């Protein structure tokens, strides 16, 4: 499976509150994305801790194949970050890709799509919604998958994705990670 991280989709702006971690072994790939609520230190801390906790799950081998389990992991991370006096809030997206299938969960406006070779993109994460973020103590993650990865897997902040997997110039900015 080919992995491409596309940094060219990001305009020039403060990105210090964004974190992306892609971890791989011989059989699976974990993508963890967090977008701090603002560019302040507390949001940076929340985003970094979220991605670090998800990476710790990968290294410990605790990688569930059920979306409900990913929801519970994000809820746990929410409570950990909420209890940290130095951390603020962040959106989060976690995806596990193995054996050509993707499963995961999200909180906030970090989205994931599968863009097939032909046809319309399939949004995995549901519609963008304003909901309590990681670090609020009230986060409401939503699980998704399992979904067959037939095409490109794109992660980014809220926006529209075209049939060819690209975001129109007028839409929101953001990082994206692509798996093919």
Domain boundaries, the chain: 3-179
* CATH assignment of 3-179, among 2.60.40.10, 3.40.50.360, 3.40.50.300, 3.60.40.10: 3.60.40.10
Percent above pLDDT 90 for the chain: 39
Confidence (pTM): 0.80
Instruction: Encode pLDDT of 102-136 as tens digits.
Output: 999 999 887 888 888 888 888 888 755 567 899 99
By the 8 A CB rule, do 49 and 86 touch? no
Q: What is the pLDDT of residue 17?
A: 67
Question: Is cis: bond before 146, omega within 30 of 0?
Answer: yes
C-alpha 120/C-alpha 140 separation (Å) is 28
């Amino acid at each position: 499976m080919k992995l491409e991280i596309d940094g060219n989709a990001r305009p020039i702006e403060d990105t210090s509150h964004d974190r992306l971690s892609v971890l791989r072994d011989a059989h699976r790939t974990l993508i963890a994305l967090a977008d701090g609520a603002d560019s302040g230190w507390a949001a940076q801390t929340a985003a970094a801790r979220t991605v670090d906790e998800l990476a710790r799950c990968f290294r410990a081998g605790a990688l569930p194949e059920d979306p409900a389990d990913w929801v519970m992991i994000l809820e746990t991370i929410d409570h950990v970050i909420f209890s940290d006096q130095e951390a603020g809030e962040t959106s989060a997206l976690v995806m596990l890709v193995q054996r050509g299938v993707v499963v995961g969960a999200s909180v906030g406006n970090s989205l994931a799509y599968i863009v097939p070779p032909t046809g319309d993109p399939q949004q995995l994460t549901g519609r963008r919604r304003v909901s309590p973020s990681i670090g609020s103590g009230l986060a409401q993650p939503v699980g998704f998958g399992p979904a067959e990865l037939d095409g490109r897997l794109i992660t980014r902040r809220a926006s529209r994705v075209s049939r060819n997997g690209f975001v129109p110039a007028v839409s929101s900015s953001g990082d994206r990670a692509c798996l093919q």
